[in-house]
Amino acid sequence: MTVATVRSYRPRAPAWRWILAGSLLTVAILAGVIIGEMPLPPDTVLAVLANKLFGAGYPVDSINAAIIWNYRMPRTLVAAACGAGLALSGVVLQALIRNALADPYLLGVSAGASTGAVAVTILGLGGGALGLSSGAFAGALLAFGLVAALARAAGGGPAQLVLAGIAGSQLFNALTSFFIARSANAEQARGIMFWLLGNLSGVRWPDVSLAAPAALIGFLACLWHVRALDAFSFGAQSAAALGISLRRVQGMLIGTTTLMTATMVSLVGSIGFVGLVVPHAMRFAVGPRHGRLVPWSALAGAVFLIAADIVSRILIPGQVVAIGVVTALVGAPGFALILIRSRGRT
C-alpha cells in the first residue's frame, strides 16, 4: 500500500461482511451464555432471551433465568466490549506510534488503574464515595496525564511516548505493590491480586452500560479516522502531506484509546495480549488497510475474550481462573508464532 493509495482509498464494506460479522458475534455471545460451570440447554437460553427481549412468556425455571440474564449475559457482553476495545486500542497505537509492540498498556493506563483501585480499596481514599471501578478509572486518567506530560517534556515524539509509558508503568506498579505490602491484610491482598489478573465474575448490567458505550464510541472514532490511520502507518510527515491535522487527530485517537482502556481496566482489571496479538493476527487475515482492519480487529477481540472467558470458567472444575491468565497462555505462544511468520516481511 502506497501513500497515493491512501490518498484515494475510501473504505467500502460489502453488506455480506457486516452480516457475517454480526452472525459470528451472535454465535460467540450465545456460546458464552450457554457454556459455563453449569452447562445450560440452548433452548432454555433462547427461551429466556425471548422472554426478556420480546416478552414471549415461555415457561422457564426461575433459577436458570436468573443465571442466564443476571449473570452470564452481562458477563459475556462486557467480555465482548472489553475485547473489542482493547483490540482497537492496539490497532490505533501501533499505527500512531509505528511500533509493532505497542498495546493499550504501553501508556501506563493499566498500571495507573491498578494503583487507583488499590488506593480506594485498601487505603480508603475517597472516603467511601469512590468504588473500585471509579478509583481505577481515576488512576488510569492520572497515569495517562503524567505519561503525556513526561513525553511532551522529553520532545513529544513516538519514542519518547514509549519510554514515558514504560517509566510510568514501572512507577505505578511499584506504588501498587507498596500499598498492598504496607496496608492490605491477606484477604484484601488475595482479592486485589485476582482482580489485577483480570476478573469478570463481578460484572452486572450496570457495567454493560459503561463498557458497551465506551467500545462503541471507540469503534466509531476509529472508523471515522481509518484514512488517517493508514497515513500514520507511513509516518507523521506522510500524514501531514495528505492534509491531516497531526495534533488534532493524534490527540483524538490517543484520547479515545485512553477512554476505552481506562474504562475496561476499571471494570475487569488488567487483561494482557488482546491489544497486542489480535491486531497482528488480523493483519495476516485481512491486510493492513484500516478500513478492514478496524472492524475485523474489533470483532476478533470480542470473540477472543468471550472464548477466553469460557475457558476460564471450565478449565478447572469448580473454580474460575483469572481471565488474564488464559489470555496470556494463549497470547504468548500466539504472538511468538506471529513473530516467526513475520520474519523477513518487515
Condensed to tens digits (0 to 9), the pLDDT of residues 48-57 reads 999 999 988 8
Alpha helices in the chain (DSSP H): 3-8, 15-34, 42-54, 62-66, 73-97, 109-121, 132-153, 158-183, 186-196, 205-224, 226-232, 236-241, 246-268, 274-286, 290-314, 323-341
Instruction: Give mean pLDDT, residues 178-187.
Output: 78
Give the C-alpha separation, 1 to 289, whole Å: 8
Torsion angle (degrees, nearest 10) of CA 184, 187, 193, 194: -160
In this prediction the pTM is 0.87
Is residue 8 pLDDT above 50, yes or no?
A: no
C-alpha–C-alpha distance, residues 295 and 20, integer Å? 12
Region of residue 126 (phi > 0: left; psi between -120 and 50: alpha; otherwise: beta): left
- Mean pLDDT value of segment 121-126: 73
Q: So what's the pLDDT on residue 342?
A: 63
On whether the CB atoms of residues 87 and 298 are closer than 8 A, the answer is yes
Place of cell 415457561: 59
Report the alpha-carbon distance of residue 59 to residue 110 in Å, rounded.
44
Most confident of 68-72, 96-100, 141-145, 176-180: 68-72
pLDDT at 86: 94
The 10 Å CB-count burial string (b at 16+, else e) for 333-345 is ebbeebeeeeeee
Strand, coil or helix: what is 316? strand
